[in-house]
Amino acid sequence: MTAIITASELAQQLAGGAPPVLLDVRWQLSVAKAAGAPAFDGRAAYVAGHIPGAVFVDLDRELAAAPGAHGRHPLPDLAEFGAAMRRAGVSAGRPVVVYDGGQGWAAARAWWLLSWTGHPDVRVLDGGLPSWRGALSTEEAVPAEGDFAPVPGAAGLLDADGAAALARTGVLLDARAGERYRGEVEPIDRVGGHIPGAVSAPTTENVGPDGRFLPAAELRDRFKALGVSEDTEVGVYCGSGVSGAHEVLALAVAGIPAALYVGSWSEWSSDPSRPVATGADPQ
């Protein structure tokens, strides 16, 4: 089973006798907005029009805990996450498809959380809502309660110490923009730069102009050029564990398992005792 699904495949499944649970996770990172400019409202976007049957999921409230010592989007309380997923109709025995506004980051965060906590069949709509060619609905879906009970995986998650170790023993990919990796700009966190030993690998380079993932073979070639081989242990981080999930998804499309450092740079850089590297050199 692949980790992504096309819009035409999704339309066929929704028209069938056993449609997947459909989650709308539209979200945008708010960075340096002009004074007085309203923040993006994912629920308002959902109400204005969504794929019929989709249930809105709030990334900041349901896919993350409140910002704090462990970063801007730390892991949610798993009991609260499970309750939110059950309200959305998620059950262990029913496929789930997640989409967002097209960037793919928020949908990937939902995909990663559900997969890491044991759901066996979760996919992301490749290209997000812009790829959908069917009608949209303004009717809020009210699904039957699901039965999904999240159980954290034994692998796939890194903490700060694990990320630092992996940067030395395997390949730790930094999914942020190159200028943030190099420390030239830092619009959000305390200091710019990267975890020593991490390799710059902007997740935006995993997709084409239409926002869809590159073919699996091209992704494999890209990651190979970044030092990933068949026996390499791979980890990913970003600013706060959202765009990094998108890179983990790209790696999954390429057939490469990877772990996510959820706290990411927002956690790492908050501790002045942790080392910071700058420039294009991983070290």
Same fold, 4-131 and 157-268: yes
User: 235 with 162: CB under 8 angstroms?
Assistant: yes
Binning pLDDT at 50, 70 and 90, where does residue 36 land? low
Binning pLDDT at 50, 70 and 90, where does residue 29 land? confident
List the catalytic residues.
238
Q: Which residue type does 105 have?
A: W
Distance CA 237, CA 243 (A): 8
Say what the pLDDT of residue 37 is. 59
pTM attached to this predicted model: 0.96
Place of tokens 């966190």: 189
**Domain locations along the chain:** 4-131, 157-268
Binning pLDDT at 50, 70 and 90, where does residue 52 land? very high
Reply yes or no on whether the pLDDT at 269 is more than 50: yes
CATH number for region 4-131: 3.40.250.10
pLDDT in tens, 241-250: 999 999 999 9
Provide φ and ψ at 261, rounded to 5°. -90, 100
Q: What is the 3-state secondary structure (H, E, C) of 224-259?
A: HHCCCCCCCCEEEECCCCCHHHHHHHHHHHCCCCCE
pLDDT in tens, 178-203: 999 999 999 999 999 999 999 999 99
Reply yes or no on whether the pLDDT at 23 is more than 50: yes
Say what the pLDDT of residue 259 is. 98
pLDDT in tens, 56-87: 999 999 999 999 999 999 999 999 999 999 99
pLDDT in tens, 220-241: 999 999 999 888 999 999 999 9
Distance CA 168, CA 154 (A): 21
Question: Rounded to the nearest 10 degrees, how much is the dihedral formed by the CA atoms of 184, 262, 7, 149?
Answer: -170
Q: Which fold has domain 157-268?
A: Oxidized Rhodanese; domain 1 (3.40.250)
Say what the pLDDT of residue 40 is. 87
Reply yes or no on whether the pLDDT at 30 is more than 80: no
